């Protein structure tokens, strides 16, 4: 099985889906000739031409809105927001429109659009090139939000997003793009949206997280294994709607739960995960639910000192895991 | 006898009579909805009265089998012309389960009906402009011979989605026709407090497309400009911005009292220039509409409106738990 970086997995999913179905096309800023500022759409312009790898004007609401129109017609647009931070002008289109089209038309219309955006920090991106924006969209029934943690998941889930008949937000951690490599099958495969995935079996503590933090948790778990602490790691993969069954099962498995996000703490995805566990697992818990998250400041500062202070890393994760194990 | 203008546009007598009948039907349905609202039978009305000439003139210039429309909330005339029935509109007014727009989920006049190429719409204004551009993009990519047609009010032309959508369409020369129905008020705020440009159509130059301002109370003038826009779009010459000037004859909605912000003389003057009755007079003057035919139309439409009202009033609401359906594909 070939080894691919996270971003190569994204590119190969796009390319294979465009080969499979002529209705699939990508649109966004710089996605055409340049192949994307991160090169996620590299080669698509040459292979599929100007319109299926469409350089749009610099206007995010139109990127989403034109994509939504094309999707309602029956195309399969994959819109790219250059950075998740810049999705904000498109929020009205995504929440008022894409998320509600099936519901408001009583199932007459639907909107099979995928909106990809690189999110996350640790790349000297400061306030507006580092944010995690998933919580903004995570109380909007009608949307699905996918945040893969590995190249394998990225490819299989992006294909699923493109084939999904409802709108999917697909957030890719920009630091994972070249940091993470892994085995990715060459043949076609699709992973289920809405299903969490156990990334490490363990019996002492349960970690529930998503995105790049899964990688940090896995690294920390290997170190703690040497000390005899056996961590169970659940990767949410889809952060909205949540896989409640998998969350409950993972929490009950060890009775000690640590939830991790790179996002600000209050009102984050893991706040909802904590609520699910409180509702369903109170008598199975042996420790208070722990949340490890970014501080409640607007976004990640630029200076390396402050960025490091904000950003999640394997050391912070390891420390929180050890404390919970010792509780 | 006045000059026959419709023949010169290639419209038969039957077609102009159909236009008149549809305008009249839209007016009578709208008037009935106000009565129903004032009688406490339906919670809300938002009106197209005064804009029927614009809507019908435009809709008849389109290919109603092939083209897609993204109407705004005053466009009862457009959706009637595209095949939505009186019963269906009343079902929506009464929020009944059988309403094809939304099954009673949305407020009335939030149109949408896939089988008639009517794209579903929402309440935040102007979001439909990029959608129509998306349909036009699909037409270009798939090499299909349809255009998309989108409408909005003049106030809405200040929204970012108007600018973003039209610029996108202009850059890629897409077959989309944008019709601004300038009824001179955005709820209470008049044109001069909304837009600094003399005309909405002046904005077209910034999007690299032709812009026209026409008399929106004259269906034939609107027909002509939309027809030409459609021909250009199909010839690959790209989008057009059209501004049709009319007047909103009612308050903004059943919850608005327009006496606060405009005087009765102004409204009365506009009523004297009502496009529906001017078109009626034109058809009578050129001998197309006889006294008999007119009274038959009025009788027929009265029956249609009564039937639609009775049908919708007696139709069942959606089951309460059906509120849980269709969040995602089922």
CA–CA dist B137, B233 (Å, integer): 12
Q: Least CB-CB distance to A69: which of B124, B132, B330?
A: B132
Q: Of B115, B148, B236, B326, which to mutate for an interface test with A (greatest number of A Cβ within 10 Å)?
A: B326
ipTM: 0.97
CA A22 to chain centre: 26
First-to-last CA distance in chain B?
61
Assess if residue B324 is contained within a domain.
no
Residue B197's domain comprises 5-317
CA distance A202 to B172: 55
Residues B326 and B311: their CA atoms lie apart, in Å, by 26
CA B40 remoteness from chain centre: 26
- pLDDT on residue B2: 61
Between CA A93 and CA A113 the distance in angstroms is 12
| All residues at 6 or more sequence positions from B276 whose CB lies less than 8 Å from its CB, including other chains | B23, B24, B27, B52, B53
Listed in order, the ranges of chain A carrying CATH 3.40.50.970 are 3-183
Q: Is A32 on the interface with B (CB under 8 A)?
A: no
Residues of B in Cβ contact (< 8 Å) with A71: 134
A198 touches chain B (CB under 8 A): no
What are the pLDDT digits (tens) for A43-80?
A: 999 999 999 999 999 999 999 999 999 999 999 999 99
Low-confidence ranges of chain B (pLDDT < 50): 1
Structural domain contains residue B323: no
Q: Which residues of B touch A146 (CB under 8 A)?
A: none
The pLDDT tens digits of the residues spanning B238-263 come to: 999 999 999 999 999 999 999 999 99
Query: Could you tell me the two tokens for B266?
Result: 């102004």
CA atoms of A53 and A19, how far apart (whole Å)? 13
Q: Rounded to an integer, what distance in angstroms lies between the CA atom of residue A239 and that of residue A233?
A: 15
Asked if A102 and B132 come within 8 Å (Cβ–Cβ), the reply is no
> Rounded to a whole number, what is the distance in Å from the CA of A10 to chain B's nearest CA?
24
Query: What are the structure tokens assigned to B40, written together?
Result: 């406490």
Q: Degrees (nearest 5) of the Cα angle B129, B135, B138?
A: 140
Query: Does residue B327 fall inside a structural domain?
Result: no
Across the interface, do A65 and B135 touch by the CB < 8 Å criterion? no
DSSP A284-311: G-SSPPEEEEE-SSSS--SSHHHHHHHS
| Cβ pair B325:A101 closer than 8 A | no
Which residues lie closer than 8 Å to B119 by C-beta, 6 or more apart? A69, A72, A109, B68, B69, B70, B71, B112, B128, B131, B132, B135
Q: Which residue in the block uniquely carries the two structure tokens 């896995």?
A: A218
Q: Over 80: is that where the pLDDT of A211 sits? A: yes
In DSSP terms, which residues pair with B153 in a beta bridge? B181
Interior CA angle at B74 toward B69 and B78, to 5°? 40
What is d(CA A94, CA A88) in angstroms, rounded to the nearest whole number? 10
Helices A314-326 and A212-226 meet at what angle, rounded to 10? 50
Contact B120 A71 (CB under 8 A): no
C-alpha B31/C-alpha B266 separation (Å) is 20
Q: What is the arrangement of strands in the sheet containing B68-70, beginning at the earlier edge strand? A: B68-70, B148-153, B176-182, B240-245, B211-215
CB contact under 8 A, A61 and B135: no
- Put simply, the answer to whether A70 touches B105 (Cβ < 8 Å) is no
Nearest to A166 among B131, B132, B329 (CB): B329
Query: Is B261 among the catalytic positions?
Result: yes
Structure tokens at A122: 């640790």
Average pLDDT taken over every residue of chain A: 98
B165: nearest CB among A25, A62, A75:
A62
In angstroms, the separation between the Cα of residue A25 and the nearest Cα of chain B is 10
Which residue of chain B is at minimal alpha-carbon distance from A165?
Answer: B329
Return the pLDDT at B86.
Answer: 98
Contact A109 B165 (CB under 8 A): no
Q: How far is A90 from chain B (nearest CA, A)?
A: 10
Q: Is residue B328 part of a domain?
A: no
- Which run of H or of E encompasses A177? helix A176-179
Cα–Cα distances (Å) from A127 to A119, A138, A295, B217, in that order, read 12, 21, 13, 52
Tokens representing A281 are: 């697992």
Which CATH architecture best describes the domain A3-183?
Answer: 3-Layer(aba) Sandwich (3.40)
Contact state of B167 with A57 under an 8 Å Cβ cutoff: yes
Residue A273 reports pLDDT greater than 70 = yes
Q: Are strands A231-235 and A197-200 parallel, antiparallel or unpaired?
A: antiparallel
Q: Which of A165, A128, A178 is nearest to A299 (CA)?
A: A128
Chain A residues with beta carbon closer than 8 angstroms to that of B163: 59
Domain covering A197-326 in this structure, CATH number: 3.40.50.920
- DSSP per-residue string spanning A118-173: EE--SSS--TTSS---HHHHTT-BTBEEE---SHHHHHHHHHHHHH-SS-EEEEEE
pLDDT at residue B3 in the model: 82
Q: How far does CA A44 lie from the centroid of its chain?
A: 23
Cα atoms in the Cβ-side hemisphere of radius 13 Å centred on A301: 11
pLDDT digit string, tens, across residues A214-235: 999 999 999 999 999 999 999 9
Number of domains in chain B: 1
Ranges of CATH 3.40.50.920 domains, chain A: 197-326
| Counts for chain A of helices (H) and strands (E), in that order | 13, 14
Task: Please tell me the distance in Å from A104's CA to the nearest CA on chain B.
Answer: 6
**Residue A75 sits at the chain B interface (C-beta within 8 Å):** yes
Burial of B12 (0-12, 13-18, 19+ CB in 10 A): exposed
Residue of B110, B127, B138 with shortest CB distance to A92: B127
- Give A165→chain B minimum CA distance, Å: 7
Query: Domain containing B202 — which CATH number?
Result: 3.40.50.970
What does the alpha-carbon distance between residue A305 and residue A315 come to, in Å, rounded to a whole number? Answer: 16
Q: Which residues pair with B245 in a beta bridge?
A: B182, B215
């Amino acid at each position: 099985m070939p080894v691919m970086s996270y971003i190569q997995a994204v590119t190969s999913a796009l390319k294979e889906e465009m080969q499979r179905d002529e209705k699939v096309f990508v649109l966004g800023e710089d996605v055409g000739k340049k192949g994307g500022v991160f090169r996620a759409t590299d080669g698509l312009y040459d292979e599929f031409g100007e319109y299926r790898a469409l350089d749009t004007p610099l206007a995010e609401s139109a990127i989403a809105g034109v994509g939504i129109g094309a999707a309602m017609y029956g195309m399969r647009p994959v819109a790219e927001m250059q950075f998740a931070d810049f999705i904000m002008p498109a929020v009205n289109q995504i929440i008022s429109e894409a998320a509600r089209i099936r519901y408001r038309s009583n199932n007459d219309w639907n909107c099979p659009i995928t909106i990809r955006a690189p999110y996350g920090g640790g790349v000297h991106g400061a306030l507006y090139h580092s944010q995690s924006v998933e919580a903004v969209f995570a109380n909007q029934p009608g949307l699905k939000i996918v945040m893969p943690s590995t190249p394998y998941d990225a490819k299989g889930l992006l294909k699923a997003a493109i084939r999904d008949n409802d709108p999917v937000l697909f957030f890719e951690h920009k630091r994972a793009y070249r940091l993470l490599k892994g085995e990715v099958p060459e043949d076609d495969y699709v992973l289920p949206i809405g299903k969490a995935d156990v990334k490490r079996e363990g019996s002492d503590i349960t970690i529930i997280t998503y995105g790049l933090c899964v990688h940090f948790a896995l690294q920390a778990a290997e170190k703690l294994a040497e000390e005899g602490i056996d961590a169970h790691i659940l990767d949410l993969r889809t952060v909205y709607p949540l896989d409640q069954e998998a969350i409950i099962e993972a929490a009950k498995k060890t009775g000690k739960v640590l939830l991790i996000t790179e996002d600000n703490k209050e009102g984050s995805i893991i706040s909802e995960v904590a609520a699910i566990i409180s509702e369903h697992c109170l008598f199975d818990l042996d420790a208070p639910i722990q949340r490890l998250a970014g501080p409640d400041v607007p976004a990640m500062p630029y200076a390396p000192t402050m960025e490091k202070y904000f950003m999640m890393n394997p050391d912070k994760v390891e420390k929180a895991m050890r404390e919970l194990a010792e509780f | 006898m006045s000059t026959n203008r419709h023949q010169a546009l290639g419209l038969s007598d039957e077609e102009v009579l159909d236009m008149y009948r549809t305008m009249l039907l839209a007016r009578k349905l709208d008037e009935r909805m106000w009565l129903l609202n004032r009688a406490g039978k339906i919670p809300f009305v938002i009106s197209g009265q005064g804009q029927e000439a614009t809507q019908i003139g435009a809709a008849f210039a389109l290919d109603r089998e092939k083209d897609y429309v993204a109407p705004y909330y005053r466009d009862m005339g457009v959706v009637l012309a595209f095949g939505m029935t009186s019963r269906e509109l009343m079902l929506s007014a009464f929020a009944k389960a059988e309403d094809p727009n939304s099954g009673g989920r949305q407020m009335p006049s939030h149109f949408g009906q896939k089988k008639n190429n009517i794209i579903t719409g929402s309440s935040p204004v102007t979001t439909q402009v990029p959608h129509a551009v998306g349909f036009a993009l699909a037409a270009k990519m798939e090499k299909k011979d349809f255009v998309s047609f989108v409408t909005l009010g003049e106030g809405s032309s200040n929204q970012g989605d108007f600018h973003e959508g039209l610029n996108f369409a202009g850059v890629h020369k897409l077959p989309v026709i944008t019709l601004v129905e300038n009824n001179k008020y955005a709820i209470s705020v008049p044109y001069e407090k909304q837009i600094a440009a003399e005309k909405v159509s002046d904005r077209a130059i910034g999007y690299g497309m032709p812009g026209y301002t026409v008399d929106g109370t004259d269906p034939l003038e609107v027909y002509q400009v939309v027809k030409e826009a459609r021909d250009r779009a199909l010839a690959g010459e790209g989008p057009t911005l059209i501004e049709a000037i009319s007047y909103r004859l009612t308050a903004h909605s059943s919850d608005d009292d327009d006496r606060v912000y405009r005087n009765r003389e102004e409204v009365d003057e506009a009523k004297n220039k009502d496009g529906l009755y001017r078109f009626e007079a034109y058809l009578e003057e050129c001998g197309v509409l006889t006294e008999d035919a007119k009274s038959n139309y009025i009788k027929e439409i009265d029956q249609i409106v009564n039937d639609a009202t009775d049908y919708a009033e007696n139709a069942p609401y959606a089951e309460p738990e059906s509120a849980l359906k269709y969040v995602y594909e089922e």
